[in-house]
Chain A
Amino acid sequence: MSQASIESAGHVGAAGSGLPGGGTSQSGAGDDLVVAGRAFRSRLMVGTGKFAAHEIMRASLLASGAQIVTVALRRVDLARLGEGDVLDFVPAGMTLLPNTSGAVDAAEAHRLARLGRAATGTDLVKLEVTPDPRTLAPDPVETLRAAELLVADGFTVLPYCSADPVLARRLEEAGCATVMPLGSWIGSNRGLRTRDALEAIIAGAGVPVVVDAGLGVPSDAAEAMEIGADAVLVNTAIAVAADPVLMARAFALATVAGRLGHLAGRAGPGAPTEASASSPLTGFLGAGPATGSGGGAA
C-alpha cells in the first residue's frame, strides 16, 4: 500500500507545509481550495509521469508543495507495491488522485476506476478518456458518459475535459467535483491556448476549475490563476525540466503569485493614464450649451 494517505484532506502533512528554502506554497489563511468538501491549501496539483526516476519524482512532489498528486493506474503494479512501484514514492500526507489515463471509452474508464478504488481505497478519480493517442485530447462524449457512471457508482470525479463551457456545465450537472479543462494539448508546453474558453468556463462554474495540461512554464500557471482558475495541474513541464525539483518550486511560487494577483484585483488593462484625468473625447458632454439635452428644441 502507498505511503500516501487518501484521508489526509486538510491542512496536514509535510507535503502541504510549505516550500523548502523558506517560500510558501499557499496564498494565505482562509483561502483554501475546496474539492468535494475537502480543503487544500495548495492550489498546485502535480502528476507523476515522465520523470527520469522515482526518486526525482518524489523530490519534485515535495518541492511543489502540492497536496494532490495524480497517478496513472496503468503505471501502478500492485505486484510491486513495497518494491519500487510508483506509489511507493508518493510522499506520505499527499492526497492520491488515481487517473484513468489510457481508457478509450466510458465503460473502460469505469472499469479502470473500480480497479483503482479497490487498489488504493480512495473514491477520488481523475477521469481521463483519451482515445486519440496522438493529441491525448479528451473525448467529450465518453467523458460525460463516464462521469455519469462514476458519480452513480459513488466516485468523487475530477474530469479532464475539453475547454468547452457547455461541456463544463454538463459535467458539473452530472455531479463532478471539479472540471479540469485543458490549456493546450498534454505535453505541448504551449500554455493557455484556450484562454477565451477557460474564461467562459470560470465565469460559469459552480465547482472548482482546474486548468490541466499544456502549462509549459511557471508564467502559464500564474496566468491561469490570474484569470480566476481555482487550481492548476502540472506534470510534463516539471518532469522534463533540466532541474525538475527547481521547476516544481517555480510552479509552486507562480501558482501562489497568480492566485494573489487574482485576489488582489487587477487594474484595468492598458488604459491610457490621461484618460482617467480627463475625457478628451467626451468631456464636452454636460459641459454647457453644446449638450443637446433639450431634445429637438434647438
Chain B
Amino acid sequence: MSAPPGVFARELAAVDLPGLSARSQRATPTEVDALLRRVDPGGAGRPAPADARLGLDELAVLLSPAAGARLEDLALAARETTLRRFGRAVRLFAPLYVSNACLSSCTYCGFAKGLPVARRTLDLDEVEAEGRLLADRGFRHLLLVSGEHRVEVSADYLVAVVERLRPLFPSLSIETQTWSDDTYARLVRAGLEGVVHYQETYDRARYAQVHVAGWKRDYDRRLSSFDRAAAAGARRLGIGALLGLAPDWRADVLALGAHAAFLSRRHWRTEVSVALPRIKPSASDFPPVVVVSDAEFVQAHAALRLFGPDLALTLSTREPPAMRDGLARIAVTSMSAGSSTEPGGYGSAGTAQEQFSISDERPPAEVAAMLVRAGYEPVWKDAFPLVDASAQG
C-alpha cells in the first residue's frame, strides 16, 4: 500500500490506535491516580502545572474505564483547567443552514444524495433574512452550514454569502464540503474566520463503509483540507468525530486528540476547536453501531480538556439541556443555541428537510440565562471584522 497523501495522514498512520485503545482498556486505578495528581491544578489561584503536557498514552489512560470510575475527579481537574485558560465565559454561536442540496452519499446523514427529502438552497436575500433574525437574537458568531453540492453551493455563492453577512457578523465560519482550489483563500479575503470539517471517523475502513459516494468519500482529501484552509489564513479550524459511527469510540477520540495536537503544532497561528457529536435520529434512519453513554461522553470531554488545555471544545444542540448545562461547567467553551438545522428554518420552519433533530430547544436567551445562573458570562461577541469594510467596494 502506498503512503497516504497529507502530512497528518502519514503521522496518523504511524499511530497504533488499536494498541492505544487496548492500552486504555488495561489502564489501572493506580495509573489513573498518578495521572490525576499530575494534571490537577489544585484551584484557580494556583500555578498551572508545569509538567502536565500529555501525550496520547496519557489520553488513553484518561479515556479508560478505570478513569471512568474517577469521573468526578476528572471533571474537577478539567473544570479548573478550563477556568484558567478560558475564564468564566462561554462563547455562543448559531448555525445558519444555507442549503441541504448534496452530491455525497453518507449513510448517517439526513441530507444524503438520493434521500427523498425536500431540498432547498437559500438565495442571498433569504440568507440575509435568516442572518438578521439571528443577529436580532444576539448572535455575532455565525457558522454557515451546507450539504456538499459544488453547483448549488459553489465557491462564488459562498463568497457572496460571506460578503452579504459580514456587516452583521464579525465572526463567520463555514461547515461545507472541503475545497482543493483557491476557495479558502477567496473566502478568507472576503472575511471568513473559521473552517469546520468533521472527519466523522478516523477509521479508514469504517469511513469507506459509510461514505458511499461523492467527494466526501475521499478520506485523504478531507483530512488534508485543513492544511489548505490554514495556509489560506483561516484563524479557526474545527475538527470532530461523530460518535456512534465507528465501533471503537475511544480510538476516534484518540485520533481526534492526535489531529488537534498536529494542527496546533503545524498551524501555530490557528485556534483549534474540537467537537464530539453523538449520532442523532435523522431522515437517514442510521443506527449507531455503539452507544456512548452519558458518563463516557462527559469523560471524553474532560479527557480532551486535560490533553489539550488550549483547545476550544464545542457542543451543539444535539445534546439535551442537562448535558449541555453540565458540560459548560466542565470543559465546553463554545455552544450553539436555538439552532435550526433546516435551510430557512429560522424564518419559516418546515419548508425543507432538517439535517438532524435537536435536543435542546431552548431559545438563545434562555441558554444565556442558564449560563449566567451557572456563573458564566455568555459571550456573544469575541471577534472583530476581518476586512476593512471602508476599503472594499
| Stretch from B82-90, B102-110, B295-303 at the A interface | B82-90
Q: Is B286 part of the contact surface with A, judged by Cβ < 8 Å?
A: no
Q: Is B118 part of the contact surface with A, judged by Cβ < 8 Å?
A: no
| Stretch from B10-18, B28-36, B45-53, B348-356 at the A interface | B45-53
Q: Is A216 part of the contact surface with B, judged by Cβ < 8 Å?
A: yes
Chain B proximity of A221: nearest CB distance (Å):
13
Chain B proximity of A84: nearest CB distance (Å):
10
Closest to A49 in B: B87
Interface string of B355-387 (1 = CB under 8 A from A): 000000000000000001001110111111100
Query: Which of the residues A54, A132, A216 comes within 8 Å of B268, measured between beta carbons?
Result: A132
CA distance A254 to B390 in the complex (A): 46
Inter-chain contact A239/B87, CB cutoff 8 Å: yes
Inter-chain contact A132/B372, CB cutoff 8 Å: no
Chain B proximity of A268: nearest CB distance (Å):
29
Q: Note all chain A residues with C-beta closer than 8 A to B50.
A: 190
Q: Is A134 part of the contact surface with B, judged by Cβ < 8 Å?
A: yes
Chain A proximity of B22: nearest CB distance (Å):
31
Inter-chain contact B48/A239, CB cutoff 8 Å: no
Interface positions of A from 186 to 201, Cβ below 8 Å from B: 187-191
Q: Is A141 part of the contact surface with B, judged by Cβ < 8 Å?
A: no
Inter-chain contact B45/A189, CB cutoff 8 Å: yes
Q: Note all chain A residues with C-beta closer than 8 A to B388.
A: 111
CA distance A111 to B270 in the complex (A): 20
Q: Is B235 part of the contact surface with A, judged by Cβ < 8 Å?
A: yes
Closest to B310 in A: A134
Closest to A105 in B: B269
Q: Is A74 part of the contact surface with B, judged by Cβ < 8 Å?
A: yes
Interface string of B88-130 (1 = CB under 8 A from A): 1100000000000000000000000000000000000000000
Q: Note all chain A residues with C-beta closer than 8 A to B375.
A: 52-53
Q: Note all chain A residues with C-beta closer than 8 A to B385.
A: 115
Q: Is B264 part of the contact surface with A, judged by Cβ < 8 Å?
A: yes
Chain B proximity of A82: nearest CB distance (Å):
15
Query: Which of the residues A74, A104, A133 comes within 8 Å of B381, measured between beta carbons?
Result: A74
| Interface residue SS majority, chain A | loop
Interface string of A75-92 (1 = CB under 8 A from B): 111001000000000000
Inter-chain contact A216/B47, CB cutoff 8 Å: yes
Task: Indicate whether A51 sits within 8 Å of B268 (C-beta atoms), given known contacts A112-B384, A189-B48, A241-B45.
Answer: no
Inter-chain contact A50/B87, CB cutoff 8 Å: yes
Q: Is A175 part of the contact surface with B, judged by Cβ < 8 Å?
A: no
Closest to B44 in A: A240
Q: Is B163 part of the contact surface with A, judged by Cβ < 8 Å?
A: no
Chain A proximity of B194: nearest CB distance (Å):
12
Q: Note all chain B residues with C-beta closer than 8 A to A188.
A: 47-48, 84
Query: Which of the residues A53, A132, A189, A217 comes within 8 Å of B84, measured between beta carbons?
Result: A189
Q: Is A102 part of the contact surface with B, judged by Cβ < 8 Å?
A: yes
Q: Is B271 part of the contact surface with A, judged by Cβ < 8 Å?
A: yes
Inter-chain contact A133/B87, CB cutoff 8 Å: no
Inter-chain contact B383/A217, CB cutoff 8 Å: no
Q: Note all chain B residues with C-beta closer than 8 A to A50.
A: 86-89
Chain A proximity of B332: nearest CB distance (Å):
16
Query: Which of the residues A51, A76, A115 comes within 8 Å of B377, measured between beta carbons?
Result: A51
Q: Note all chain A residues with C-beta closer than 8 A to B381.
A: 74-77, 80
Q: Is B149 part of the contact surface with A, judged by Cβ < 8 Å?
A: no
Query: Which of the residues A74, A75, A216 comes within 8 Å of B46, measured between beta carbons?
Result: A216
Chain A proximity of B305: nearest CB distance (Å):
14
Inter-chain contact B45/A74, CB cutoff 8 Å: no
Q: Note all chain A residues with C-beta closer than 8 A to B270.
A: 133
CA distance A54 to B88 in the complex (A): 11
Q: Is B318 part of the contact surface with A, judged by Cβ < 8 Å?
A: no
Inter-chain contact B269/A131, CB cutoff 8 Å: yes
Q: Is A242 part of the contact surface with B, judged by Cβ < 8 Å?
A: yes
Interface positions of B from 305 to 359, Cβ below 8 Å from A: 310
Closest to A184 in B: B47
Inter-chain contact B269/A51, CB cutoff 8 Å: no
Q: Is A237 part of the contact surface with B, judged by Cβ < 8 Å?
A: yes
Q: Note all chain B residues with C-beta closer than 8 A to A104.
A: 235, 269
Interface string of B203-237 (1 = CB under 8 A from A): 00000000000000000000000000000000100
Q: Is A144 part of the contact surface with B, judged by Cβ < 8 Å?
A: no
Q: Note all chain A residues with C-beta closer than 8 A to B259.
A: none
Inter-chain contact B88/A51, CB cutoff 8 Å: yes
Inter-chain contact B271/A74, CB cutoff 8 Å: no
Q: Note all chain A residues with C-beta closer than 8 A to B250.
A: none
Chain B proximity of A156: nearest CB distance (Å):
21
Closest to A186 in B: B85
Inter-chain contact A236/B84, CB cutoff 8 Å: yes
CA distance A80 to B87 in the complex (A): 22
Chain A proximity of B207: nearest CB distance (Å):
29
Chain A proximity of B89: nearest CB distance (Å):
6
Chain A proximity of B334: nearest CB distance (Å):
13
CA distance A50 to B85 in the complex (A): 9
Q: Is B140 part of the contact surface with A, judged by Cβ < 8 Å?
A: yes
Q: Is A146 part of the contact surface with B, judged by Cβ < 8 Å?
A: no
Could you list 30 A-B pairs, sorted by A, with CB under 8 Å? A50-B86, A50-B87, A52-B88, A52-B89, A52-B376, A52-B377, A74-B381, A75-B381, A76-B381, A111-B388, A115-B384, A133-B269, A133-B310, A134-B268, A187-B84, A187-B85, A187-B87, A188-B84, A189-B44, A189-B45, A189-B47, A189-B84, A190-B47, A190-B48, A190-B50, A216-B47, A236-B84, A239-B88, A240-B45, A240-B87
- Taking A73-B384, A74-B382 as given, write out 18 further A-B residue pairs in contact, using a Cβ cutoff of 8 Å, ordered by the A residue number: A49-B89, A50-B89, A51-B89, A52-B88, A52-B375, A52-B376, A52-B377, A53-B372, A53-B375, A104-B269, A112-B384, A115-B384, A133-B270, A134-B264, A134-B310, A187-B87, A191-B47, A240-B45
Q: Residues of B with Cβ closer than 8 Å to A? A: 44-48, 50, 83-89, 140, 170, 235, 264, 268-271, 310, 372, 375-377, 379-385, 388
Per CB-CB distance, the 8 closest pairs between chain A and chain B, nearest first, are: A50-B87, A52-B88, A133-B271, A240-B44, A134-B310, A77-B381, A190-B47, A52-B375
